[in-house]
Amino acid sequence: MTFHSVSEATIVMLSVVYAMTGGVILQWLLGYNFSVAVWFGYIALYGVAVQTGVVMVVYLHEARDERLRRGGDISEQDIREATIAGSVLRLRPKLMTVSVVMASLVPILWSTGVGSDIMKPIAAPIIGGMVTSTIHVLIITPVIFYIMKRRALRRGTLRTSGLSYSRS
């Protein structure tokens, strides 16, 4: 409903699939069984993955809409440049989010004290998912977005999104 487009909502949900995949891989590598604690980790990971996916798509839309507002004919090169510009705007905030999450949760994986047996299974899916989610949101999401908008341009259905995101 946010994007008024099933295909753009699918892009965001793909970031969740990538994040969950990373969580499952790290959980498997560390030998943790599914438990309530692991599911709490997945719930937290799901929230972060959806949020970062939505914000990336919004930034990509803003960059593309800025180009459309200038008027004139828009080319595939313009869409490509707008996609790169929107991605670059999200690069630092995404990397900061990932680094803060990693800095706070990686020490939990090394811990041996009281409660570590509960905290480690919570941290594992989040850490694994943050790695794969970062790759997806910073690389794959912009590529899919570009392909979709290029296809819309060729069909003649490219229009402004009407989305806005307050950066304050």
Cα separation, 5 vs 23, whole angstroms: 28
The C-alpha atoms of residue 36 and residue 15 are separated, in whole angstroms, by 23
The two structure tokens encoding residue 142: 């912009």
- Where helices occur in the chain by DSSP H, the ranges are 6-30, 36-69, 76-110, 116-135, 141-155
Nearest 5°: CA angle at 63, between 59 and 69? 135
Note the pLDDT tens digit of each residue in 73-123. 777 888 888 888 888 888 888 889 889 988 998 898 888 888 788 888 889
**Chain segment 149-159, per-residue pLDDT in tens:** 888 888 876 66
Other Cβ atoms closer than 10 A to 60: 30
Taking the model in full, what pTM does it have?
0.78
Residue with tokens 């994040």: 19
Band of pLDDT at residue 166, cut at 50, 70 and 90: very low
Can you tell me which residue has the tokens 């800025």?
66
Q: For the chain, how big is the Rg over CA atoms in Å?
A: 18
Instruction: Kindly indicate the confidence band of residue 168, based on its pLDDT and cuts at 50, 70 and 90.
Output: very low
CATH superfamily, domain at 6-153:
Multidrug efflux transporter AcrB transmembrane domain (1.20.1640.10)
